[in-house]
């Protein structure tokens, strides 16, 4: 049983077909990178997997950890261990980061039949992880992503990834807007997350992230379908030659 | 003429208000200006309630800190000007006539601790005038806990007069949602004086707040941050008039109101830049969240500008919970009810500031837990 099994997926946004017969398998312990030009459907794939309203699956099947995702609500997907790191994390003034993180963690534990972790223990863990990601623990007191720079928002996404310990992380252009230091920190966080029990679907435009997070497989998404797959060298070729050779 | 005004005929005006002043109030109650500003509130019902309400003539419940002095205003040989435009706020005259007393607190030097005023509760309180001397600062705190007396109708009239270079901070927490209430704050600021207002409250019955701040001196500044939760069946009507009467004056208004259930929330905020108020700088923001389709929100930010060299911004929003934020929380595993609760609470908390912010946040959280 694959961790993620996408078979012949078609999906539309506002009635417009975006994903067209996309198939992909991710096994536990693997990192798959999805690359592709603008508008190829990379973010649509991420949002479809997370169950975002407005993203309609019109054909095909997606199963996660052996469970079909059709009709499964976003919160149930998350509780089952599917995590989406947003390309544009939302700012939520008035809701502190710590409160949000604790609520998210408690909901995961409740879904597994566990009692909430003590606030003290959780805060200690969150602060330590934040520090490791170069996030000032003071950020945990602020509103969710409120006034964060682009890099801080992405670090905050990785903090959530590490805290929630999902089975599958879908990282939607987590490297966009990051300077070199932040890129390395975020990559270190993803590598820390990586284990034989979980998987990562890494959506990116640039090969530079893959210098720090070495993928097992690289796929090229064009016009809603995967047109090429390979190992990490495929990303290097794309970096050097672009996508034009694929359509030629 | 509005119902209830007949009953005012029997009122006797205190000497400092005079029969003429009371007559003006009676006339104003039937006038166009008052009818318009009371469009969303039951004026006849309020005037009737004012006639019937219990009266609290005693001095405000406070142990005055050193540096302040209390006087019975209406017994002074030469009382200061009350400073309220009775044509605009005739109910202030009615309250004064009913109360039969009026109190003056002089702040002669900066007190070491806040002035603590009793919440209006279900009674008419004698109007209070606070005069702050130059270069002094005063904090005024007023809190109504959920255990407050909720019977009857409460009324409060507070007049603040800030001398040059003085500062005042008035913070209120009205967390007794069942109290019916009308309140008026009239503030007059001279040069470089600064006023900070923090109002936070929960409303389950009827609450009407009138605020009139006159920035009447170069560099006078107002900052107001507030949040209100209007519970099912509640009616909140906020009427703000901020007057920039001098140059270089600054006002910042931020008000967050959340209307739940079958409630009604009205916000009317008017910024008036007088001719000659060169370089005035005003920013007014009113955000409203309607949690239920049957909730009603009325908001009207207004700018009235009589000179060219000003900076003014205003904005009002009425909406439901942000779909992006909701999905963000759901994508982290929070169930929809929990996510909505957290976002609602966050919206209100974003309008909290001052000494009662934490207490108000706790009260709001308790409300949402009980839903």
The string of pLDDT tens digits covering residues A38-57 is 999 999 999 999 999 999 99
Residues A89 and A144: their CA atoms lie apart, in Å, by: 9
Residue B353 belongs to some domain of the structure: no
* pLDDT tens profile A156-203: 999 999 999 999 999 999 988 888 888 999 999 999 999 999 999 999
* CA–CA distance, B126 with A164 (Å, rounded to integer): 57
Q: Provide the domain count of chain B.
A: 1
A92 at B interface, C-beta within 8 A: yes
B144-147, Cβ contacts within 8 angstroms, sequence gap of 24 or more: B144/B119, B144/B120, B144/B173, B144/B174, B144/B175, B144/B176, B144/B179, B145/B119, B145/B175, B145/B176, B146/B175, B146/B176, B146/B177, B146/B363, B147/B176
Residue-range definition of the domain harbouring residue B115: 6-322
Beta-carbon separation of A93 and B350 below 8 A = yes
For residue A76, give how far its alpha carbon lies from the nearest alpha carbon of chain B (Å): 7
Query: Which of residues B79 and B356 earns the better pLDDT score?
Result: B356
Cα–Cα distance for residue pair B191/A87, rounded to 1 Å: 49
Interatomic CA distance for residues B104 and B76, integer angstroms: 10
Instruction: Please state the rounded mean pLDDT for residues B308-313.
Output: 94
Taking each helix axis from N to C terminus, what angle separates A97-111 and B336-349, rounded to the nearest 10 degrees?
Answer: 170
Reduce the DSSP state of residue A96 to 3 states and report it. Answer: strand
H-type alpha helices, chain B: 18-29, 32-37, 43-52, 90-99, 323-330, 336-349, 357-370
Cα separation, A41 vs A223, in Å, equals: 7
How large is the average pLDDT for residues B126-139?
95
CA distance B350 to B287: 10
Given a cut of 60, whether residue B2 has pLDDT beyond it is no
Of residues B177, B121, B20, the one with CA closest to residue B28: B20
With beta carbons under 8 A apart, name residues in chain B contacting A161. none
Residues of A in contact with B332 (CB under 8 A): 78, 100, 104, 107, 160, 164
| Predicted pLDDT at B9 | 67
Percent of chain B whose pLDDT exceeds 90: 66
CA distances from A202 to A56, A235, B103, B304 (A): 22, 12, 69, 54
Q: Which residue has the higher pLDDT, A177 or A90?
A: A90
> Is B346's CB within 8 Å of A79's CB?
no
Residue of B279, B286, B157, B308 whose CA lies nearest to B221: B279
Q: What is the Cα–Cα distance from B307 to B214, expressed in whole angstroms? A: 17
Average pLDDT over residues B288-304: 95
List CB contacts (< 8 A) between A108 and chain B: 333
Q: Of chain A residues 57-86, which have a CB less than 8 A from chain B?
A: 73-75, 77-79, 83-84, 86
pLDDT for the residue B265? 96
What is the mean predicted confidence (pLDDT) over B287-306? Answer: 95
Q: Which residues of B touch A103 (CB under 8 A)?
A: 329, 334, 338, 342
pLDDT of residue B280: 97
Residue B152: pLDDT band by 50, 70, 90 thresholds? Answer: confident
pLDDT at B258 over 70: yes
Q: What is the pLDDT of residues A124-157, one digit of tens each?
A: 999 999 999 989 888 999 999 999 999 999 999 9
What's the burial of B218, exposed, middle or buried (CB within 10 Å: 0-12/13-18/19+)?
middle
* Residue B351 placed within a domain: no
- Cβ contacts of B122 within 8 Å, gap of 6 or more: B53, B54, B149, B150, B151, B152, B153, B154, B179, B180
The most distant pair of C-alpha atoms in chain B lies apart, rounded to whole Å, by: 69
Element (H, E) at B179: none
Name the burial class of residue B259, with classes exposed (0-12), middle (13-18) and buried (19+) by CB atoms within 10 angstroms of its CB. Answer: buried
Angstrom distance (rounded) from CA B119 to CA B117: 6
Q: Which of A37-41, A141-145, B95-99, B218-222 has the lowest mean pLDDT?
A: B95-99
pLDDT tens-place string over residues B30-80:
899 998 999 999 998 898 888 888 888 888 766 889 999 999 987 888 878
pLDDT(B120) > 50: yes
Pairing of strands B128-132, B153-162: parallel
What percentage of chain A exceeds 70 in pLDDT? Answer: 100
Do B41 and B34 touch, CB atoms closer than 8 A?
no
- What mean pLDDT do residues B341-357 have? 96
Cβ atoms of residues B352 and B200 within 8 Å? yes
Given a cut of 60, whether residue B148 has pLDDT beyond it is no
**Residue A107 token pair:** 């909901």
Shortest CA distance to A194 belongs to which of A49, A45, A33, A6? A33
Q: Say how far apart CA B8 and CA B231 lie, in whole Å.
A: 32
Q: Which residue in A49, A69, A80, A90 has the most chain B C-beta atoms within 10 A of its own C-beta, making it the best mutation to test that interface?
A: A90
Chosen from B333, B342, B352 to mutate, greatest number of chain A CBs within 10 A: B333
Residue B150 has a pLDDT of 57
CB contact under 8 A, A94 and B323: no
Q: Which neighbouring-strand residues pair with A181?
A: none
pLDDT band at B234 (very low <50, low <70, confident <90, very high): very high
- Distance from C-alpha of B248 to C-alpha of B50, rounded to nearest angstrom: 39
B313 is written with which tokens? 């911004």
CA distance B23 to chain A (A): 48
Choose the mutation target among A92, A126, A162, A165 for the interface with B, i.e. most B CBs under 10 Å.
Answer: A92
Whole-angstrom distance, CA of residue A232 vs CA of residue A216: 7
Whether residue B163 lies inside any domain: the answer is: yes
Q: Do A75 and B328 touch (CB under 8 A)?
A: no
Instruction: Please report which helix (H) or strand (E) contains residue B273, including its range.
Output: strand B264-273
CATH number of residue A105's parent domain: 3.40.50.300
DSSP summary character for residue A87 = S
Give CA–CA dist A73/A157, Å, rounded: 21
Angle at A110 (CA atoms; ends A105, A116), nearest 5 degrees: 60
| Chain A residue numbers touching B341 (CB-CB < 8 A) | none
Q: B84 or B244, which is more confident?
A: B244
In the predicted model, what is the mean pLDDT of residues B154-177?
A: 92
Enter the DSSP assignment of A90: P
Half-sphere exposure of residue B268: CA atoms within 13 angstroms, side-chain side: 14
Q: In the prediction, which pLDDT does B291 show? A: 92
In a domain, B343, yes or no: no
pLDDT at A248 over 70: no
pLDDT band at B146 (very low <50, low <70, confident <90, very high): low
Residue B302 is predicted with a pLDDT of 93
Domain count, chain A: 1
What are the backbone angles phi and psi of residue B309, rounded to the nearest 5°?
-90, 75
Domain of A193 in residue numbering reads as 4-247
Residue B335 domain-assigned (yes or no): no
The residue of B322, B332, B335, B349 whose CB has the most chain A CBs within 10 angstroms, and thus the best one to mutate to test that interface, is B332
């Amino acid at each position: 049983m694959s961790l993620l099994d996408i078979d012949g997926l078609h999906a539309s946004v506002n009635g417009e077909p975006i994903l067209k017969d996309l198939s992909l398998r991710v096994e536990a312990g693997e990192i798959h990178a999805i690359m592709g030009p603008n508008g190829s459907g990379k973010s649509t794939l991420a949002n479809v997997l997370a169950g975002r309203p407005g993203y309609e699956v019109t054909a095909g099947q997606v199963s996660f950890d052996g469970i079909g995702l059709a009709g499964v609500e976003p919160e149930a997907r998350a509780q089952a261990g599917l995590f989406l790191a947003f390309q544009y994390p939302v700012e939520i003034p008035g809701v502190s980061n710590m409160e949000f993180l604790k609520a998210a963690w408690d909901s995961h534990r409740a879904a597994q039949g566990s009692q909430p972790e003590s606030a003290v223990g959780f805060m200690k863990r969150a602060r330590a992880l934040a520090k490791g990601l170069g996030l000032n623990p003071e950020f945990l007191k602020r509103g969710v992503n409120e006034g964060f720079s682009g890099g801080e928002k992405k670090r905050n996404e990785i903090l959530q990834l590490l805290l929630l310990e999902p089975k599958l992380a879908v990282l939607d252009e987590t490297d966009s807007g990051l300077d070199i230091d932040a890129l390395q920190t975020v990559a270190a966080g993803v590598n820390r997350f990586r284990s034989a029990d979980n998987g990562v679907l890494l959506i990116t435009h640039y090969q530079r992230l893959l210098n720090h997070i070495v993928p097992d497989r690289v796929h090229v998404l064009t016009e809603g379908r995967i047109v090429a797959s390979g190992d990490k060298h495929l990303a290097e070729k794309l970096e050097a030659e672009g996508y034009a050779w694929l359509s030629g | 003429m509005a119902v209830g005004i007949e009953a005012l005929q029997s009122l006797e005006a205190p000497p400092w208000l005079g029969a003429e002043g009371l007559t003006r109030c009676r006339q104003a109650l039937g006038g166009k200006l008052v009818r318009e500003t009371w469009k969303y509130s039951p004026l006849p019902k309020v005037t009737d309630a004012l006639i019937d309400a219990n009266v609290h003539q005693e001095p405000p419940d406070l142990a005055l800190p050193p540096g302040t002095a209390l006087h019975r205003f209406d017994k002074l040989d030469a009382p200061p000007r009350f400073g309220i435009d009775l044509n605009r706020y005739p109910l202030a005259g009615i309250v004064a006539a009913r109360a039969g007393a009026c109190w003056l607190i002089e702040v002669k030097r900066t007190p070491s601790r806040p002035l603590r005023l009793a919440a209006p509760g279900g009674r008419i309180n004698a109007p209070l005038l606070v005069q702050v001397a130059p270069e002094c600062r005063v904090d005024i705190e007023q809190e109504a806990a959920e255990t407050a007396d909720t019977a009857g109708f409460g009324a409060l009239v507070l007049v603040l007069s800030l001398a040059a270079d003085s500062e005042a901070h008035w913070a209120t927490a009205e967390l007794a949602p069942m109290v019916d209430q009308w309140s008026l704050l009239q503030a007059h600021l001279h040069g470089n004086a600064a006023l900070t207002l923090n109002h936070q409250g929960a409303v389950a019955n009827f609450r009407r707040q009138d605020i009139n701040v006159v920035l009447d001196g170069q560099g006078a500044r107002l900052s107001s941050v507030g949040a209100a939760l209007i519970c099912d069946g509640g009616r909140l009507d906020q009427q703000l008039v901020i007057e920039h009467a001098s140059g270089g004056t600054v006002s910042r208004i931020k008000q967050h109101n959340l209307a739940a259930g079958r409630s009604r929330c009205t916000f009317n905020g008017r910024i008036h830049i007088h001719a000659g108020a060169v370089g005035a700088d005003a920013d007014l923001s009113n955000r409203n969240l309607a949690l239920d389709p049957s909730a009603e929100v009325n908001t009207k930010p207004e700018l009235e500008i009589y000179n060219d060299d000003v900076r003014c911004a205003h904005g009002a929003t009425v909406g439901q919970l942000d779909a992006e934020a909701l999905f963000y929380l759901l994508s982290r595993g929070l169930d929809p009810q929990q996510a909505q609760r957290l976002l609602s609470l966050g919206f209100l908390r974003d309008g909290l500031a001052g000494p009662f912010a934490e207490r108000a946040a706790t009260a709001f959280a308790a409300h949402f837990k009980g839903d």
